Amino acid sequence: MLTIAGEVAHPRSLTFADLAAIDATYQVADVSQLVPGRKGDAVRLTGILKLVQPRSSVKYLGLHSSADDFHASIPLAAVLDRGLVIYRLDGQPLPDKAGGPVRFFIPDFAACHTQEIDECANVKFVDRIELTAEKGFDNRPHDGASHEALHAKDAGGASENR
Ligand SMILES: Nc1nc2c(c(=O)[nH]1)N[C@H]1C(S)=C(S)[C@@H](COP(=O)(O)O)O[C@H]1N2
Ligand SMILES: [Mo]
């Protein structure tokens, strides 16, 4: 279940079926076409925002994972046209090891902690998206040491020194 809340006219909680039912014009089948090496089907962020109707005061997009207490709050305008929500793989909910059931993804992210929109903002296990006027809670690592410590926790150490 993905909850969309904050400064929106119609807060919603979306199930897998709700995401799949979003208009076809917003669906992106097979993100590997856009991002080599990434799998799954996505819906564009704009398709989700259309459902909830953000207020004109909204400036920030909060991406929240309560599963591992990881949070990012990024300027909405910078990702509005390209942000993706990956939610399906082979017809099933995106598996946990791919960051599912819901993972935010910016196709052309910047290197980790180089700018506000970076790879670290590709939040996995997203269960809440919050639209806010001011920057919200964000605990992304902001230097090399804290970032390495975070990746060291990743199972198998698959993501090395980023
Ligand atoms: N929920 C959650 N999302 C997360 C993280 C995390 O620790 N927890 N790490 C972030 C960081 S720092 C990076 S660089 C990318 C790595 O994504 P990948 O493992 O798919 O390569 O995921 C981001 N999303
Ligand atoms: Mo990162």
Q: What is the pLDDT of residues 81-118, one digit of tens each?
A: 999 999 999 999 999 999 999 999 999 888 778 788 89
Query: How many A from CA of 114 to the centre of ligand 2?
Result: 10
| CB of 113 closer than 8 Å to CB of 145 | no
Residue identifier of the C-alpha nearest atom 19 of ligand 1: 159
Which are the contacts of 159, defined by CB distance < 8 A and separation ≥ 6? 151
- What's the confidence (pLDDT) of residue 157? 44
Domain spans of the chain, in order of start:
2-153
- What's the confidence (pLDDT) of residue 82? 93
| CB of 12 closer than 8 Å to CB of 51 | yes
- What's the confidence (pLDDT) of residue 109? 83
Q: Which atom of ligand 1 lies closest to the CA of 153?
A: 7
Q: Which ligand is nearest to the CA of 63?
A: 1
β partners of residue 131: 6, 61
DSSP readout, 7-61?
SBSS-EEE-HHHHHTS-GGGEES-GGGTSTT--SEEEEHHHHHHHH-B-TT--EE
- What's the confidence (pLDDT) of residue 110? 83
- What's the confidence (pLDDT) of residue 161? 37
> Can you list the residues of the chain whose pLDDT is less than 70?
155-162
Query: How many A from CA of 23 to the centre of ligand 2?
Result: 32
Compute the distance between CA of residue 151 and CA of residue 162 in angstroms, rounded to an integer.
8
- What's the confidence (pLDDT) of residue 37? 86
Tell me which CATH homologous superfamily contains domain 2-153. Oxidoreductase, molybdopterin-binding domain (3.90.420.10)
